[in-house]
Amino acid sequence: MTFIADNWMLISIALTSGLLLLWPTLQGFSAPGLSVNDAVFKINREKAVVIDVCTPEEFAAGHIVAAHNLGLDQLDAQLPQVAKNKSTPLLMVCASGQRAQSAASSAKKLGYEQVFCLQGGLKAWRDANMPTEKA
């Protein structure tokens, strides 16, 4: 007991670092984030399918060219129709990048092998002056 009392700070540091190392595992799947340049490479060279999980209103206001709009509530039912081949790279996009992580997790559960998220979402895409279109 005196060991714990004398070394409480070291023990708390060890426990904290252990929890931080386990955090990604405890949180579940986290899709790799791609920069805008890496996303363009995936789209152009690897023929990645762009899945926009924004609301229909956000999608209509502007989206990545040739993106498919699938809301989070529609993803499980409609993703297999949009991307039939489960080895096709998928690029999940939303306004800021938060919903895309959730969509990527759902896609992984459906068996898709290559799922990525656009870091910073559509905001980062627009900030890089990349082309968008309106519905």
The 10s digit of each residue's pLDDT in 60-70 is 999 999 999 99
Residue 24 has pLDDT above 70, yes or no: no
Residues in the chain: 135
Banded model confidence at residue 30, pLDDT cuts 50, 70, 90 = low
Same domain, 42 and 108: yes
Mean pLDDT for all residues in the chain: 90
What pLDDT sits at residue 55?
93
Residue 68's domain comprises: 31-133
Q: Are strands 63-64 and 132-133 parallel, antiparallel or unpaired?
A: antiparallel
Same domain, 119 and 70: yes
The 10s digit of each residue's pLDDT in 101-122 is 989 989 999 999 999 999 999 9
What pLDDT sits at residue 6?
84
Same domain, 95 and 67: yes
3-state secondary structure the chain: CHHHHHCHHHHHHHHHHHHHHHHHHHHCCCCCEECHHHHHHHHHHCCCEEEECCCHHHHHHCEECCCEECCCCCHHHHHHHHCCCCCCCEEEECCCCHHHHHHHHHHHHCCCCCEEEECCHHHHHHHCCCCEECC
Same domain, 53 and 95: yes
Same domain, 39 and 102: yes
Q: What is the pTM of this model?
A: 0.77
Domain count, the chain: 2
The 10s digit of each residue's pLDDT in 41-82 is 999 999 999 999 999 999 999 999 999 999 999 999 999 999
Query: Does 94 qualify as catalytic in the annotation?
Result: yes
Same domain, 98 and 115: yes
CATH number at residue 113: 3.40.250.10
Same domain, 94 and 79: yes
What pLDDT sits at residue 96?
87
Average pLDDT of the residues in 16-30: 70
Catalytic residue among 94, 103, 107, 118: 94
